[in-house]
Amino acid sequence: MPDSDDVEQLLEELTLLQPSAALEAVQRWLAAQKLDVACSALKKEIASDPSKWSPPSSTSAAGTSASSGTSTRPGRLFDTEPIDPASVPSVLLTKPDPVFFGERDDKKREGAATEEFALTVHYDALTSGLESEPHFRVEEKQIIAGRYVVIQYLGSGTFCHTVQCEDLRAGPSSRHRFVCVKVSKNTKDILDQNLWEVKLLKLLSRRIDSEQRALLPALLNVFYYRETLFIVYELLRDNLYHIYKYIEECALPKYFTCQRLREVARQCLQTLAVLHAQHVIHCDLKPENILIQSLTACQVKVIDYGNAYLHHDQRCSYVQSRAYRAPEVVLGHAYSTKVDLWSFGCILMELLTNRLLFDNRSVQSLLASHIALLGPFPKRLVEEGQLSEYYFEHMGSSSHPQTLVGKHDGRLCRMKPTSTSLEALCERHGADDPNFASFIRQLLALDPVERATAEKALQHPFLRDTSPCPPYKLTTADRSGEAGQRLLHKYRSLENVESPTRLTGSASFPSAIDAALLNDDDVPGPATPTSFREQCYIDRERLEKKRSRKSGASRWGGSSNSKDEPPANLDGMALSPDPVGPKTPASTDPLKKGRA
C-alpha cells in the first residue's frame, strides 16, 4: 500500500492544478505506485464520459475553472534532484524545534503597574457545578446569554468559532444590531489566547486616538457564559480569500484590480503603522484575516490579534502561516514588526494572481521559491540564522549557489532555485501601474534591514496615486446567474454605483463611503455561501494542520495553525441554511451531525 505521506503529498499537488493536469498527475502517480488495475479503471472511466471530467463553466455558485492566465504559480520555481539520505549531513534530515528570542524579567513584572478590564459572568440559579458538556454547542436561533440570537455560521479557526448574531438590546436602526460573536474553544491555553486578544485591543484603545481606533475592529462586548468565553465584535463581511476565491470560481469579473489593491494596501498599511508605533507585531497576516467592510467602497479591516506579540516581549520562531512567513523567521533570526510587511506583500500578490506567491509545501520549497523570485539570500542572513543549517546544503558562494535539501514528492531531493521575474509576473496578471512591482519589492526585501516600514511604504509612489477607483460592475449575464445575484443581494450598493468615485476616508467616513456602508448593511453578513466558506476552511487549513502536528510547537507557537484541531464544525458547531443558493448536501450538513 502507498505510504500515507505520499498520498497527502499527492493531494497537496492536486490542489494547485487544473482538472486536466490533476488527472494526468493521478495517472502518473498510480503507475508509479504499480497500481495498474486502478490506473486502467480510471482511464476507462475518463474515456467513457469525457465531459464528466471537464471543469464546469457557468456563473453558478458551484464554481468554475480559473482562466488559463491565473491557473498556476509563476512558472517552475526550482528544479529537484533525488538524493540518497546517506549522502547528506544528518542535520538536513532533522526537523528543528522552535527557537525563542528575548527574556521576560519576572522580577520587574512583579512591581510593574497592571492594566485591567471588567469581565461579566452570566449564570443562572437553576444549575450547579459544571456544565454537562465541555464545549459550548451553538445552534441556529439559539439565544446566548439572553441577548444574542444566532443567525448563521461565519467561520471556524483554531481558537474559536464565529457566528453572526442579532443583538436583542440594540434598536432596529442601531449600527450594531447585527454582530459577530466569537465562541472560544474550551481549553486553558485557548481561553488565555482569546483573552490576550481582548487585553491587547483594550490596551490599544486607551493609547490611540479615535481616528486610529476606527482602523481596528470594534470590540463591543466580552463575557463568560456556561464556562465559555464570548467576544462580540462589529459585524464585517467576507474575508479577502473568500471573495477572490468565490469570484474566480464563479467566473465573475476580477475584483482585485491594481486600483483596488491600492485601496487595500493604503488601509492595511495605516493599520500596521498604528500597531507598530505601539510595538505590536500582528504575526498572522493573511487574506482570511482581512475582512471587507464595503465591497463598493473597497473598505477593509485587519482582524484577529490573538497571535500578536509585543516587540519587547519574548517571541517564538513558530509564527505566521507558512505561505506568508518572513525569511528571517524561517531562518531563526530575532524578528521585528517588518515580518508583517513581508506577509502583506505576499497577500497583495495573491490577490492579484489568485494564487499563493510562494510554494509552501515545505520550508525548503518555500525558501527555494524566495530565491527564485527575489534572488539569493544575503550571506549574513543565511550564516547567522539559527535554523539555516537544517535547510541549506550550500549557504551560497561563487562556486556553489544556494541549494536546499528536503522532502519533495515523497522523496528526499536537492532543490535548485530557478530564476523568475517578479515584474513579469505582475505584468502578466494585469498590474497596469508601473509602480506596483517596485512597491511589492519594497515589501518583499529578503533582508529585513532593507525592507520598508509601514510608514515608509505609505509614501511609495504607488500609493500617492489618487485617481478614482472604478466601480465593480457585473455583466448582464453575471447578474442573472446565482453567484451574481448573491453579491447583489448582500452588497446592495453595487446596484447604484455607476461612475468612478474616490472612496477613501477616516473615522468620520465621507458621505460616499457612509452611503455604501449603510446600503450594504441592509442585508448584513457575508455574501459567500455557508457551505463554500466551510469548504474553504477545510481545504485551506488541512495542510497546515498536518504540518503543525509534526512541529511540536507549544502554546508559544503563535500561528493560528499551531494547534491540532479537527476540521470546521466537527465539534457540533451549527451552520444555518443560506437565504440564497444551494444548501450544504444533507450527507455533510453540520446541522444534522451529532457531537463528535
Catalytic residue positions?
284
Backbone angles phi, psi at 430, to 5 degrees: 85, 20
Q: Where are the alpha helices (DSSP H) in 170-313?
A: 188-207, 210-213, 240-249, 258-277
| 17/56 Cα distance (integer angstroms) | 15
Cβ atoms 556, 562 nearer than 8 A = no
CA angle 313, 315, 319 (to 5 degrees): 140
Give which of 418, 319, 404, 429 is closest to 374, Cα–Cα: 418
| 127/110 Cα distance (integer angstroms) | 38
Give which of 102, 110, 443 is closest to 269, Cα–Cα: 443
| 139/155 Cα distance (integer angstroms) | 14
And the C-alpha cell for 115?
492594566
512-523 b/e (C-beta count within 10 Å ≥ 16 → b): bbebbbebbbee
List all residues 6 or more positions away from 135 whose beta carbon is below 8 Å from its beta carbon.
Answer: 185, 186, 228, 571, 572
Give which of 430, 447, 332 is closest to 380, Cα–Cα: 447
**Amino acid at the residue 454:** A
And the C-alpha cell for 352?
492579484
